[in-house]
Structure 1
Amino acid sequence: MSNFFGDLAPLSFDPEAEGLAFRAYNPDEVVLGKRLEDHLRFAIAYWHSFAWPGGDPFGGQTFERPWFGDGMDAARLKAEVAFEMFELLGASYFCFHDLDIRPEGASFTESKRNFEEIVAIFEEKMETAKVRLLWGTANLFSHRRFMSGAASNPDPDVFAWSAATVKSCMDATHRLKGENYVLWGGREGYETLLNTDLKQELDHMGRFLSMVVDYKHKIGFPGTILIEPKPQEPTKHQYDYDVATVFGFLQRFGLEKEVKVNIEQGHAILAGHSFEHEIALAQALGVFGSIDMNRNDYQSGWDTDQFPNNVPEVALAYYEILKGGGFTTGGTNFDAKLRRQSLDPEDLIAAHAGAMDICARGLKAAARMLEDDALEAPRRARYAGWETPEAQAMLTSDLASISARVEAGDVDPQPRSGRQEKLENIVNRYV
């Protein structure tokens, strides 16, 4: 035991507790015929919880952690603390990048050896722990070699390094029985067209992703390949800007049946959308996979990765997830980090516990709205005109025939209210 968390005990569901406890998240509570834990599938992000030093665009490290350092002893201690935290929270899953769990070596081979040693420690700990791996991924954005992208980099050696890194991370994810593998294109984009061959970079990204899918089948990885849409930050023009952009990219390379999306709340906002919009669109296009749950500071212009605390927002997101049938291999990963002033070990536990309660409240509100047909009934009424034989016939007709019907005086459209405020009031009654 590391003793990093002192005498903190594993959290339990106790709405009346004075100390750390779950007030709304009861993992065994049954909602829509399924345990709450199985609906939400909570995951802890290794990078923000254990690797992030507390910096922001204007200041450096504020956290002092006993495992901060470059050696393998620090990486082993970090793993020890991580699994202690998973146990305290009763977490179902965790997620990691390769760089989160191992120090950078002097060569690719040394980095891979460091990585595989920690993966072996994970494997041993997971034999007796409750926690499982929701997804693994590769960090192809932090090191200066990736300053011009990874799969889209103009240097073929960086492309090769990236491919080797992804292979090792896919192997590790498969070894740990991970349920998904994520590609996160933090720098897949460009700053200016003055030095960019946009078409070539997109073609290289498509080929890279095709190789990832081929390798998945080669090693028999049963999980889902996911892309995480990422707008603007840090690259001005991201190739994976939002769900619609990613879907168009997948269609172009014939991968729309092979790859789904991992949608982050903060990224959706940066792209000018709502979280529920991105989830609903992914469901409509058949590519919904998983979510990163967090929030942005709406007064700031970057991805602040705060823990969720807005029940109405969260409820609308889970409404779209539940309406689409819920998670399959995906889940709720807390891609969220403490504020720079939250220095204590207990803050890590409190942040996750509060977020888990917010998500539980949101999902239960969403489930009640579905059970009561509160939103679907007025939605069906709004589109009811399309159920008539005349409307259905239009969809298999032609412009001339439709025009003739209008000119004969058979059509006289009268606007009807969309009742947005009434529907917003309905949502507020549930949250």
Structure 2
Amino acid sequence: MNKYFPGIGRIEYRPDAGPEDTLVFRHYNPGETIHGRTMEDWLRFSVCYFNTFRYCGSDDHYGERAHQRQWEDGTRSLDNYKRRMMAAFEFFHKLNIKYYSVSDRDMAPEGDSFEETNSYLDEMVTLACDLQRQTGVRPLYYSADLFSHPRYMNGAGANPDAHVFAYACAQVKRSLEAAKRLGADNFVFFNPRDGYQSVLQRQIFRDMSHMAQLYRMAVQYKDKIGFKGQFLIQPKPADPRRHQYESDAMSAMHMLRHFSLDKQFKLYIKPAFSRLMGRPYEHDVYIAAAFNMLGCVDASDSFPEVEATSDICAQNIHDATIIMKCVLEQSGVQPGGFTLGGRVRRESVEPRDLFHGHILAMDTFARALRNAARMISDGCFARSIQQRYTSYKSGIGERIEKGAATLEECEEYIRKCGEPQQQSARYEHYENMFNYYVYPPRQM
């Protein structure tokens, strides 16, 4: 465990570290108890295998790969995948975390046939199991990559070609078997190509019903093999090239409920996607939580002015605190957690930069967790929000809340009480309170 990152030991918690000590945690203290649970248990950090070890500093528009890693030769050979995995587990061990997040194609390349592809995957899963036993690290989630290969250019579960649909199902079957072998806590469905480019090309409801059939088959096979992990769906927002059927939390939840699948699934939310769509960073997290469907969170940031940059290492403490407030209010996201989905910049070419980026994100969310815990313990927001809704505690408001009111009754109430008085939303008051916890005043 010291071949690919020499000179770097296990990352430790050192709250007294100076500004140039960037290979330590200043805020993430795994054993610290907050609201009756350890920080490690609240956050359940996992490293995103794809963005950490498969992204090599390439730019889709302006340049070739810039990261020349010792373990990476740029080929799809099995030897290259093995070296990459050995480097990854050394990284997990030294970062001092318990989870990673991975897909089948992250682990093993495509072969020349379905049988060869599965043979490669079996071999790599065996290697991963051995490394997991050595390090104590296991998948927070496992996934089937149903979008990278050209066969999925028109989608997977929503593909108009039944042959492609069947291939996707076969791939999910093998991935569920791998997830069980690896002891994954969750299984993620991520379907960025399942949507339409033009309504003239597709039968939209038929597409979505086919996706639901894939989900049903997965639920059936999960039960058959005894896989205990939670199923998650990661919504993907629309982009200029394709409108995804699961473009946000609400559309994904509606589809699941329509096809009676909502009891078997939760959502894996990437807040950075909301920002790219012009919505508040926290929007989908709070929408999913409101319906008890928040299962996992991607801890990354984005630049809204640069559409392609949605996977930078989390560093915005203000935004992270909003997310952690929601997570604490719903008592956590177990068996999910926070996937460190950010990647280092193209110009960050040293292997140690991978540690710097992940430490930055982990410390950001650790600070956010402490901020949110103080916020909830003080009760200022709870009291202020209860006051805003006080009219629903009695009279016509209570009847509305209970579903007992009628339109006639509301009309009678208005005739009696007249025009409602304007009530300030007190937006600035709430933001001011929030900033108090994110940027507390210095003690003189």
Name 2:426's counterpart in structure 1. Answer: 419
Name 2:189's counterpart in structure 1. Answer: 183
Q: Please say which of residues 196-205 and 241-250 is displaced more in the overlay.
A: 196-205
Asked if residue 63 in structure 1 is aligned to residue 67 in structure 2, the reply is yes
Deviation at 1:301, TM superposition (A): 1.9
Q: Which structure 2 residue ranges, 5 or more long, are not aligned?
A: 439-444
Aligned partners of 2:326, 2:48: CA distance in 1, in Å?
23
Name 2:51's counterpart in structure 1. Answer: 48
Q: Is the 8 A contact 1:99 1:139 kept in 2?
A: yes
TM-score normalised by length of structure 1: 0.97
Deviation at 1:338, TM superposition (A): 1.0
SS at match of 2:134: coil
Name 2:112's counterpart in structure 1. Answer: 106
Deviation at 1:92, TM superposition (A): 1.9
SS at match of 1:69: coil
Q: Is the 8 A contact 2:147 2:156 kept in 1?
A: yes
Aligned partners of 1:233, 1:23: CA distance in 2, in Å?
38
SS at match of 1:73: helix
Deviation at 1:76, TM superposition (A): 1.2
Q: Is the 8 A contact 2:24 2:359 kept in 1?
A: yes
Aligned partners of 1:49, 1:348: CA distance in 2, in Å?
7
Asked if residue 165 in structure 1 is aligned to residue 168 in structure 2, the reply is no
TM-score normalised by length of structure 2: 0.94
Q: Is the 8 A contact 2:27 2:367 kept in 1?
A: yes
Aligned partners of 1:304, 1:401: CA distance in 2, in Å?
49
AA partner of residue 405 (structure 2) = S
Q: Where do 1:142-291 residues align within 5 Å?
A: 142-233=148-239, 235-291=241-297
Aligned partners of 2:234, 2:379: CA distance in 1, in Å?
31
Q: Please say which of residues 392-401 and 245-254 is displaced more in the overlay.
A: 392-401
- Give the 4+ runs in structure 1 shifted more than 6 A: none
Q: Where do 1:337-348 residues align within 5 Å?
A: 337-348=343-354
Name 1:130's counterpart in structure 2. Answer: 136
Aligned partners of 1:320, 1:169: CA distance in 2, in Å?
31
Aligned partners of 2:386, 2:241: CA distance in 1, in Å?
41
Asked if residue 385 in structure 1 is aligned to residue 385 in structure 2, the reply is no
Name 1:15's counterpart in structure 2. Answer: 15
AA partner of residue 420 (structure 2) = P
Asked if residue 406 in structure 1 is aligned to residue 414 in structure 2, the reply is yes
Aligned partners of 1:234, 1:129: CA distance in 2, in Å?
43
Change (3 A) 1:125 1:423: same
Deviation at 1:2, TM superposition (A): 6.0
Aligned partners of 1:121, 1:180: CA distance in 2, in Å?
20
Q: Is the 8 A contact 1:292 1:334 kept in 2?
A: yes
Q: Is the 8 A contact 1:11 1:90 kept in 2?
A: yes
SS at match of 1:37: helix
SS at match of 1:195: coil
AA partner of residue 4 (structure 2) = F
AA partner of residue 197 (structure 1) = Q
AA partner of residue 51 (structure 1) = R
Q: Is the 8 A contact 1:188 1:235 kept in 2?
A: no
AA partner of residue 296 (structure 2) = S
Match of 2:79 among 62, 73, 82: 73
Cα shift readout 1:97-133 (whole Å, capped 9, x = no counterpart): 1111112211111111111111111111212313221
Deviation at 1:411, TM superposition (A): 4.7
Name 1:28's counterpart in structure 2. Answer: 31
Q: Is the 8 A contact 2:81 2:108 kept in 1?
A: yes
Q: Is the 8 A contact 1:13 1:26 kept in 2?
A: yes
Q: Is the 8 A contact 1:233 1:302 kept in 2?
A: no
Name 1:296's counterpart in structure 2. Answer: 302
Q: Please say which of residues 81-90 and 381-390 is displaced more in the overlay.
A: 381-390
Aligned length: 430
Cα shift readout 1:115-161 (whole Å, capped 9, x = no counterpart): 11111111112123132210000111111111100111111111111
AA partner of residue 204 (structure 1) = H
Change (3 A) 1:379 1:192: same
Name 2:441's counterpart in structure 1. Answer: none
SS at match of 1:136: strand
Match of 2:332 among 326, 344, 349: 326
Aligned partners of 1:85, 1:311: CA distance in 2, in Å?
25
Deviation at 1:172, TM superposition (A): 0.7
Q: What percent of counterpart residues are identical?
A: 33
Aligned partners of 2:308, 2:79: CA distance in 1, in Å?
34
Match of 2:42 among 19, 25, 39: 39
Aligned partners of 1:232, 1:223: CA distance in 2, in Å?
28
Cα shift readout 1:330-360 (whole Å, capped 9, x = no counterpart): 1000111111100100000110011100010
SS at match of 1:260: strand
Deviation at 1:258, TM superposition (A): 1.0
Match of 1:430 among 429, 434, 437: 437
AA partner of residue 388 (structure 1) = S
